[in-house]
Chains A and B, each alone.
Chain A
Amino acid sequence: MSLWVDKHRPTSLSKLDFHKAQAKRLKNLVQQGDFPHLLVFGPSGAGKKTRVLCLLRELYGAGVERLRMENTSFTTPSNKKVELMIISSNYHMEVNPSDVNIYDRVVVQELLKTVAQTHQFDATGQREFKVIVVTSADQLTKDAQHALRRTMEKYMATCRLILVANSASKVIAPIRSRCLGVRVPAPTIEEIAAIVTGVGKKESTLVPPELAKRIAESSNRNLRLALLSLQAARVQQYPFTPDQSVPSQDWLTYLRETANMIVKEQSPQMLFQVRERLYELLTRGVPPGLIFKGLRVLVRNCYDAQLKMEVVERASMLDHRLQQGSKAIFHLEAFVAQFMSLYRRFMSKKIEML
């Protein structure tokens, strides 16, 4: 069974369901046969990738959809071999160099240079340049980003980069200065609800308006999530009822339970139990940044403005440290411990006052 998210992905710029004005402008851009390097940024599930694929299709025609996957190996200066999956068509290739962590610079150096130096001459009058799509560009190390700078200028005639990122702030200024920024905001609740209904129709599934709206709301304006939960709901129970529960992702439920445990009891034993659960989440591949963001529901359980502020302050400080360190669990656990201590102190003061 194929996923509805992938199956009903629009394939041309004119068929995109939201940010239509931007799609129109992108169409104008490629119609003249050329475009600058692009930096496409927006929250996850906002349809950045879809937009990029539509753009490529507009540029090269259906050929870009014939994809190959290859494992390519790179050799680091210290003679270590790293492997990376590369998806490519005749016209473009897609890489996620941050998959190889700190060796991403090697990938960027080697890959871009080989591609960029291979001139493309096309008898059929196709484009003179190839496109390299770099996903998670904001996850690239600073070294790798620096390695892109001059390459981007030098080989401009033969190669264009499309950098896809969640946030533009994490891309260094010299790179931003070399790209046209394309901001892709998350679709609104209404837009998502409409798309959910539309996809339902294509799968001959009738979605009651109330349910569509609730699916959209619980997705946090993440279209991919919304479509995934639509499909999950369909498996759970069909025909739909308007008040049917919206399936949420397992890990979110798990995290919410964890947060409840923290609020219920603050003790070393509890901290120990919570750590086990955090480990569980990490080993299942949930990104630590998301866990941090999820744990902020703890803040909602604080009754006091001052306390809330302090908790937010700790969270943002520890989240920053987490980005710099290599062991996520330390910082997550530190946050939980600090929360427990702050919360407990506040509560006991409250009780004293009564």
Chain B
Amino acid sequence: MQSFLKTGKLGPQEKPATSGSSQKKKTSVCTPWVEKYRPRTVNDVVEQGDVVEVLRQCLGGADLPNLLFYGPPGTGKTSTILAAARQLFGDIYKDRILELNASDERGIQVIRDKVKKFSQLTASSMRPDGRPCPPFKIVVLDEADSMTHAAQAALRRTMEKESKSTRFCLICNYVSRIIQPLTSRCTKFRFKALGEEKILERLQLICKEEGVNCSEEVLQLLVQTSEGDLRRAITCLQSCAKLVDKGTTVCPTDVLEVTGVVPEQWLEELVTVCRADDYARLESFVERLSCEAYAVSQLMDQLLKMIISAENISDRQKAVICEKIALCQWRVSDGASEYLELLDLGCAMAKALRS
């Protein structure tokens, strides 16, 4: 590994690893769009009205409470707090923010040492250049769902004691993973999955800026498949734009491939095979489906929607099937074999549909 690092062509004449602004310019040529279009200011944040309002007031001089952001991936949690912090502190941003995420060591010891030490630093209400700025620092604990409960508990005291000069911002996907004493010390903000309209607008804006030729239909499809995850929508848009041959436009099948959506025909065939109630046929179908490598969790999500809206299945049958889908889905996300779970689900569906 050493040689891999050494041959990073970091010659002696070059600067050390600290990033300067000149490097930023250079790399911006190939910045992915998700990063390029990350909100720079609080006003850039799409949707999420409540938080934006609170932060805007804070920018206007109001005090900031401790914050807890939660919500699904790609809805702007990390971006929002970083943008707000940049606006609040300008160029002394680096001194006033302690950002710890799941890639940092965040055991009890770190909470006790690093976070505590940072919290105890004093923060003046003036920048070195004389301009005013808020008299506190912010500790951002991103991806806090992966912190152990012990570490979270260690945070309680610090949070209370240093409340004068330090604000905390906890970010997570599932608020249930955060211990109650912490959630009660924070103002909670739920980041909603973004609305279809909003995503569409954002995509259209990017298309215009980047000169991408995308039909309305393709954009709609991207919006639908993203399920409110703007990051996913943007990544998919960029991938679509790059994967196709030069000069051709993006077509809907490209989108489906990039987003990993399972084509309808597989779902329909699954239901047909289950109705046939023939184990051998089911087994060979599942075998074939597994070879296609579609994500089974995605498949089950789609199947769930399809079952719920199916007209020729009774409510009772739907209930039985949906419960089984939930069980299998959970097991798959726990690491169980996709093949066996799918087979099990198929058997249960066959049984439910039999009556």
Contact = CB atoms under 8 A, between A and B. Distances in A.
Physical interaction between A and B: yes
A90 B337 contact: no
Interface string A25-56: 11011001111100001110010000000000
Contacts of B101: 149-151
Contact of B4 (A88, A108, A183): A88
Nearest to A167: B338
Nearest to A168: B295
Band of interface residues on A: 35 or more
A12 interface: no
A208 interface: no
Interface string B100-114: 011111010100000
B1 A169 contact: no
Band of interface residues on B: 35 or more
A28 B246 CA distance: 8
27 contacts: A25-B243, A28-B244, A29-B239, A29-B243, A36-B239, A42-B293, A70-B1, A88-B3, A115-B4, A119-B10, A119-B23, A142-B146, A148-B103, A150-B101, A153-B34, A156-B32, A157-B27, A169-B338, A170-B332, A174-B173, A176-B232, A177-B73, A184-B293, A309-B348, A315-B344, A319-B340, A324-B335
Interface of A: 24-26, 28-29, 32-36, 41-43, 46, 68, 70, 72, 77, 86, 88-90, 93, 108-109, 111-115, 117-123, 126, 128-130, 138, 142-143, 146-151, 153, 156-158, 167-170, 173-174, 176-181, 183-186, 220-221, 289, 292-293, 296, 299-300, 305, 308-309, 312-313, 315-316, 319-320, 323-324
A124 to B, nearest CB: 8
B17 interface: yes
Interface of B: 1-5, 7-11, 14, 17, 19, 23-24, 26-27, 30-32, 34-35, 72-74, 78, 101-105, 107, 109, 142-143, 145-146, 173, 229, 231-232, 235-236, 238-239, 242-246, 257-260, 277, 279-280, 283, 287, 290-298, 328, 331-341, 343-344, 347-348, 350-351
Nearest to B5: A118
Given A86-B1, A315-B340, A77 B105 contact: yes
Contacts of B7: 90
Given A28-B242, A119-B19, A186-B293, A320 B102 contact: no
Contacts, number: 228
B9 A123 contact: yes
A77 B107 contact: yes
Contacts of B10: 118-121
A180 B258 contact: yes
Nearest to B28: A157
A181 B259 CA distance: 7
A109 B101 CA distance: 11
A113 B105 CA distance: 12
Contact of A167 (B2, B27, B229, B295): B295
A112 B336 CA distance: 28
A320 B336 contact: yes
A178 B4 contact: no
B328 A316 contact: yes
Nearest to A148: B103
A55 to B, nearest CB: 13
Nearest to A160: B32
B71 to A, nearest CB: 11
Contacts of B146: 142-143, 146-147
Contacts of B287: 220
B347 A25 contact: no
Given A109-B104, A183-B257, A316 B344 contact: yes
Most chain A beta carbons < 10 A, residue from B258, B260, B348: B260
Contacts of A147: 102-103, 146
A309 B352 CA distance: 12
B338 A177 contact: no
Contacts of A169: 295-298, 332-333, 338
Contacts of B343: 296, 312, 316
A129 B8 CA distance: 9
Given A115-B5, A173-B72, A185-B292, 7 more contacts: A25-B244, A109-B103, A157-B27, A170-B335, A181-B260, A183-B260, A293-B339
A292 B335 CA distance: 14
**Which 4 pairs between the two chains have the least Cβ-Cβ distance?**
A150-B101, A168-B295, A146-B102, A316-B344
A265 B9 CA distance: 66
A305 B346 CA distance: 13
A315 B341 CA distance: 9
Contact of A316 (B2, B3, B245, B336): B336
Contact of A305 (B279, B292, B333): B279
B8 A130 contact: yes
B340 A312 contact: yes
B336 A319 contact: yes
